[in-house]
Amino acid sequence: MLGKRSAQRSLFEPLMMPHRVPEDSIYGRMGLVIDILFRDEELGEMYCPDNGRPSIPPSLMSGVMLLQFHDNVSDDEAVQRLQFDLRWKVALRLPLDFVAFDPSSLSVFRKRLRERGKERYAFDRMVEVGRAAGFLPATVDTLIDSTYMLGAGATEDTYKLVRHAIRKLLRAMGCHLPQRRTKMERKLDSYLDRKYKPKIDWSNPEERKSHLQELVADARGVLEMALDHTGDEEVRALGWMLTKIIGDDISFDDKGEAEIARGVAQNRIISVTDPTLRHGRKSSSQRFDGPKLHVVQEPSSELLLNIGIGAGNEHDCRQFHPMIDGIEEHYDMKVVSSTGDGAYGSGDNRAECAEKGIDLISPLAEPRKGVGKWQFDIDLDKKEVTCPEGHTTSKWNWTKDGKGRKIRRFTFAAENCRNCPRHDECVGKGKSGRRVTLHYQEEHLKRARERQKTESFREVYCIRSKVERKIGELVRQGLRRARYMGERTEVQALWTGAGVNLKRLFKLAMGEVCILRDAIERLSAGSRQEVPLREACSVT
């Protein structure tokens, strides 16, 4: 049943007596608005309305989670600070003799948020307060960028992945129970022991290969057993995962013997504890194992408008429109422009932005060596391409891009290219002439290349550094490393972003907390009164 915070004040509250917590700190300022910042009724649907013991007030739990992610502490440490840290008592308006709850209550609260679709509650609240206080306009420009996160799940090599997947599948089928374990083959029985690891000479390739044959044979045997449990959703999911691991990591030679596959399969599973983890690269030399954090910011107020989690091996451009669409879906705002690095400026993104009326400001990456396509004069109307040396070709043929769409590929005459002084840097060692393949959205890319050369583009694009600073702040708050596995990482990102936004709102209010209180009260009353846009650009 929903529990509510009592409006009765205690004589033991720190606000009722002198204390040394700075008034201009986030703890001191948060204590001035916490009584109305979160309301129990807004999360009432997470609890039974008329049965059971009263819950811990969700408004209190929301405040604790906000401080937990702001201070980057564990559940145990959060509860300890709740009892002994005067800053937290001031921020949450708790009496000095407050008796804290069990740390597991925080885990249960996060689970309730996910189950009821309320994981964005605190983040949406801060954006709405910023809108109601006049710090966010109805039409917004945005900045977008991403950074990597380190996953919480253990990454494993192929041998460990197969053993671990077999063990989890056996346990899901109930084979760990005493009455079933005694009837199993001794070979499969050993997988149920978490400490099991074959005692072989791992430096010997022959012994490793022999052990791999055993692993594959055992995996096939367990998958056959799983056919009798197809009605169990967990067994089906684990069976699919084991099958994918075998298919991605293991190949078979001409004799039918298993061997470690060369290369890395697309979307390869690297962790059984967290199957969502993927290998990712921030650059050619920097690899990471985990998800990507995507951030959208409004440049004048520097408030975060959206935070999302994507796969580590997914290109940034795929998350552009989901992040921008999320702003218009959750808030009463219209995005009119978005500035991001070259990863977001794909041709398809530019075409979709043109349809939606969004100005996408993003540079096009070009090779530093050789003659790039951007140096050619492409006339789409005449279907002609002219090279930097003045040679023109109208010879083209149809080909297909990675999505199966028909595109034009122009070819220059071989004799013209062979006699060209820039042959080596343009064509290379090839005997045929230079080929220029047009993009399916070449018209949008051409306009972007022309715009990129202007001074106005450079002036607008330089403000992108603001979102990089904001990402740095999120990283300092603990978002470089995921605390949880799977979809729970999104809760960490959203609530950390909510804490960062709350600090920014206090700065935008210039110490006038009454501005925020008035905005929060109007939101709670359901008022949609328009507030004139406040001057926020000068606030740092």
For the chain, give every domain's residue range: 14-136+495-524, 158-260, 381-437
- Who contacts 228 (Cβ-Cβ below 8 Å, separation ≥6)? none
First to last CA, the chain: 44
What is the arithmetic mean of pLDDT over 511-534?
81
- Who contacts 139 (Cβ-Cβ below 8 Å, separation ≥6)? 333, 334, 335, 336
Quickly state the pLDDT bin for 372 (edges 50, 70, 90). confident
User: 103 in helix, strand or coil?
Assistant: coil
pLDDT in tens, 213-254: 999 999 999 999 999 888 899 999 999 999 999 999 999 998
CA angle in degrees (0–180, nearest 5) for 467-472-477: 125
- CA-to-CA separations, 239 to 108, 155, 196, 434, in angstroms, rounded: 29, 19, 21, 49
Q: Which of 264-268, 295-299, 427-431, 533-537 has the lowest mean pLDDT?
A: 533-537
What is the arithmetic mean of pLDDT over 447-457?
92
Which residue type, as a one-letter code, is found at position 403?
A: K
> How far apart are alpha carbons 168 and 232 in whole angstroms?
14
Q: Is the pTM of this model over 0.85?
A: yes
Both tokens assigned to 73: 């502490």
> How far apart are alpha carbons 408 and 398 in whole angstroms?
5
> Do 250 and 261 contact (CB within 8 A), yes or no?
yes
pLDDT at 528 over 80: no
pLDDT in tens, 9-26: 776 777 777 788 998 999
For residue 403, what is the DSSP state? T
User: 146 in helix, strand or coil?
Assistant: strand
Backbone phi, psi, residue 347, to 5° = -60, -40
Average pLDDT, the chain: 91
- Who contacts 362 (Cβ-Cβ below 8 Å, separation ≥6)? 339, 340, 341, 342, 344, 345, 349, 350, 448
User: 353 in helix, strand or coil?
Assistant: helix
Give the per-residue pLDDT at 195. 66
The number of residues in the chain equals 540
pLDDT in tens, 248-271: 999 999 888 999 998 888 889 999
CA 35 from chain centre, in angstroms, equals 31
pLDDT in tens, 431-444: 688 999 999 999 99
Both tokens assigned to 120: 């964005």
Give the per-residue pLDDT at 3. 86
Bridge-based pairing of strands 392-393 and 384-386 is: antiparallel
- CA-to-CA separations, 232 to 221, 228, 245, in angstroms, rounded: 18, 9, 20
Give the per-residue pLDDT at 222. 93
